[in-house]
Amino acid sequence: MDDIILEARHINKYFHDPVDVKVLSDINFSINKGEFVTVTGKSGCGKSTMLYILSTMDTDYEGALFIDHVPMANKPEPELARVRNEKIGFVFQFHYLLSEFSVLHNVMLPGLKLAKYPAQEIEKHAMERLNMLDIGRLAYKKANQLSGGEKQRVAIARALINDPCIIMADEPTGNLDKKNSEIVFDIFRQLAGERKQTLLIVTHDQEFAARTDRIIKMEDGRIIK
Amino acid sequence: MKLIFSIARALLLARWRQTLVAAIGVAFSITMFVSLLGFMSGLNEMMDALFLNRTPHIRLYNEIKPAAVQPILMSPVYRSGYHFIHSIKATGSRQGIYNGMAILDALRRDDRVTGISSRIVMQAFFNEGTVDITATVNGIEERKETALFHFEDYIVAGDALMLEKMPNSIILGKVLAEDLLVHVGETVQLTTAEGERFPLKVVAIWQSGIRDFDKVQSFTSLGTAQKLLGKTANYITDIQLKIKDITAAPAMAREYNHLFRVSAQDVQTLNAEFETGSFIRSLISYAVGITLLTVSGFGIYNILNMLIYEKMDTIAILKASGFAGRDVRRIFISIAMSIGIAGGVTGLMAGFLFSLGIDQLPFRTTSLPTIKTYPVSYDPFIYFIGGIFSLASTYLAGWQPSRKASRIDPVVIIRGK
Ligand SMILES: Nc1ncnc2c1ncn2[C@@H]1O[C@H](COP(=O)(O)OP(=O)(O)OP(=O)(O)O)[C@@H](O)[C@H]1O
Ligand SMILES: [Mg+2]
């Protein structure tokens, strides 16, 4: 039991606009260290909403959330930011790179923010991650000169820079073609297999989900399996 | 903090054209502010030179007025009751300061006093053919008047020093000399109030720039004046003082009034209105400066709002990857401040150059013979205030947009895609 990384207890979430709607009800589950979990479900069932809560970006919910055994309730905003910085890597459907910076600098940014290592070391780590994802040659390009698939790989490298406890991704291949989706999925599998990286991925791709450790299936704001 | 600056710099460079315009706005207003204030302060200083430098801080004299304590009050018999006294007349026999030499001695020992010069002020007639022109003759200590009140600055012809060297010499106001049709080196006839006639040699012409003065004023040495009046060498009618701390003038005047039993007039009472003028000039400069800075502040406000609107995604990703709201606020505040600092420094330098330019423009006025170009002040305080204002206005302009940026909810942005 000691290797639980993330735990959700009785999480409820309402939207009040325009009328009160309960979008998540009684979400209970936990993720162990090194587990590769996918979340699936129909569009609009609340997957993204849940992921935003689990990633501490959304704090407007009922229930309890523990990350690395630490309760997230009532933490001030700067501390939550620190948790995201240190323990969570996030990959979005859209790649969200900073177009003002080079690829390398984009990957380094969360590391520089954490400031656990000196800048040279962070640069070395960033380079390692980029090489691992086979995009080391793009390191000095501007972020907006890359293709969609390349950008998503840079985003994954950035999520990895601080060696987070867990990586969360919201439909990371939703915006990619078949070939690039395969590459991204392969990377996730590789991370889970070789680095024992904990992963929580929201996806519509049943085929991909089937090849992971566990599938969380959602319907109308509930976990049904 | 280095990280915050590097992100701020990257965002700035991404929009360098707009940033440049905003910085130029700040620079322009600081330039105007500094040069305007410099010019206005220069004018104020010139006015100070015009009035204050020529005016003693305290003037001691014997005013002809009825005695405040009438003899009847001194008699013990009439102590009680209320006295109605009609037709009181001033004694007026004595214009000279009683015990003048003792007072001068006491003043010399007073270390609040930085300069003393004594005068004899008298009325006389100048005779020109059959016409008599009334004028004031001032017996002065020429050297001291020059040292304390810049007397020689107002000499437009001849040599003021001759006053001391040559007995029976006189300096005439310019208009008075014209009226009398005399030039330097010629002789004028003077009749005293007692009716005695003296020929005096004109050694210089004096011009204050105020026509009414130039028409009635003339100057001789103290010795000559005493001779004209038939008085001894210790006769004086006025003592003029310069003091260390001009703000203490009213208090000191009151003190001397009691101590020496003479009338004492201080510069503050004399120049109250003049101070108001200076104050209003400064006020106008500050108002114009602040208006300009407000306008340039809106420039910064706009560019920041635009930047924030454009960089929503960047802000969202920064927050998602671990930057707190306050980090985001610092980023945008640093953007505002760097615009402010760059614009402010440029503005201060441009303002200084502009002031140098104004300083070169010729400006001649008869009232100020020593001034040849427009007066400009380079008081460091003006530049200090300019710098502070540029920082304060950019900080204020950046405050609201930065706060807005720090409050952006990343979930809303990420969902909104
Ligand atoms: N800000 C909001 N205000 C009101 N309702 C919202 C808001 N955001 C989302 N919803 C609603 O909450 C429900 C869950 O949305 P969510 O985005 O979590 O779905 P999802 O499972 O991620 O869907 P998809 O697979 O299409 O991404 C939806 O019915 C949506 O309309
Ligand atoms: Mg979704």
The pair of three-digit structure tokens given for residue A220, joined into one six-digit string:
């109308």
Give the Cα separation of B221 and B236 in Å (integer).
Answer: 12
Give the Cα separation of B228 and A112 in Å (integer).
Answer: 92
CA distance A150 to chain B (A): 18
Residues forming beta bridges with residue B128, ordered by sequence position: B131
How many domains does one find in chain A? 1
Ligand 1 atom with the smallest distance to the CA of A218 is 21
The string of DSSP codes covering A59-103 is: ---EEEEEETTEE-TT--HHHHHHHHHHHEEEE-SS----TTSBH
According to DSSP, the β-strands at A198-202 and A166-170 are parallel
CB-based contact B321 A57, cutoff 8 Å: no
For residue A43, which ligand has an atom nearest its CA? 1
Pocket of ligand 1 contains residue A221 by CB under 6 Å: no
A26 vs B54, higher pLDDT: A26
Q: Is the pTM of this model over 0.90?
A: no
Residues of B with CB below 8 A from A96's CB?
313, 316-317, 320, 414
pLDDT at A49: 92
Quote the distance between the C-alpha of residue B21 and its chain's center: 37
Cα angle value A22/A84/A149 (rounded, 5°): 90
List C-alpha distances in Å: B73 to A128, B64, B80, B82, B263: 109, 20, 9, 10, 22
Nearest CB partner across the interface for B410, out of A57, A112, A113: A57
How much is the ipTM here? 0.91
pLDDT confidence of A93, banded at 50, 70, 90?
Answer: confident
Domain that residue A80 falls in: 4-223
In terms of Cβ atoms closer than 10 Å to its own Cβ (0-12, 13-18, 19+), residue A69 is exposed
pLDDT at A224: 85
pLDDT tens per residue across span A71-83: 998 889 999 999 9
The pair of three-digit structure tokens given for residue B133, joined into one six-digit string:
């022109």
Residue written as token pair 């300009």: B292
CB-based contact A92 B13, cutoff 8 Å: no
List C-alpha distances in Å: B294 to B152, B180, B384, B394: 47, 59, 18, 9
Give the length of chain B: 417
Question: Which residue in chain B has the smallest CA separation from A167?
Answer: B321
Give the Cα separation of B231 and B168 in Å (integer).
Answer: 15
Probe target for ligand 1 pocket from A17, A19, A49, A222, with the most ligand atoms within 8 Å of CB: A49
pLDDT tens per residue across span B314-337: 899 899 988 999 999 999 999 989
How high does pLDDT run on average in chain A? 89
Average pLDDT over residues A145-149: 86
pLDDT tens per residue across span B331-378: 999 998 998 999 999 999 999 999 999 888 888 776 666 677 888 888
Pocket of ligand 1 contains residue A13 by CB under 6 Å: no
Among candidates B363, B144, B356, which has minimal Cα distance to B240? B144
Residue A176 has pLDDT above 60, yes or no: yes
Residue written as token pair 């820079």: A161
Give the Cα separation of A69 and A110 in Å (integer).
Answer: 22
Nearest CA to ligand 1 atom 26: A43
Task: Indicate which CATH number applies to the domain containing A147.
Answer: 3.40.50.300
Nearest CA to ligand 1 atom 14: A46
| Omega prior to B199 cis, within 30 of 0 | no
List, as ranges, residues 140-179 from A with C-beta within 8 Å of B.
158
| Buried-exposed string B133-168: b where 16+ CB fall within 10 A, e elsewhere | eebebbbbbbebbbebbebbbbbebbebebbbeeeb
- Ligand 1: distance of its center to the CA of A9 in Å? 21
Residue A202 has pLDDT above 80, yes or no: yes
Whether B322 and chain A come into contact, CB under 8 Å, resolves to yes
pLDDT tens per residue across span A128-140: 989 988 888 988 9
pLDDT tens per residue across span A4-17: 899 999 999 998 87
pLDDT < 70 stretches in chain B = 67-68, 90-94, 270-274, 366-370, 417
Pocket of ligand 1 contains residue A162 by CB under 6 Å: no
Whether A23 and chain B come into contact, CB under 8 Å, resolves to no
pLDDT at B12: 86
Whether B412 and chain A come into contact, CB under 8 Å, resolves to no
Nearest CB partner across the interface for B317, out of A55, A58, A96: A96
pLDDT at B25: 87
pLDDT tens per residue across span B66-86: 766 777 777 777 777 787 878
Nearest CA to ligand 1 atom 19: A44
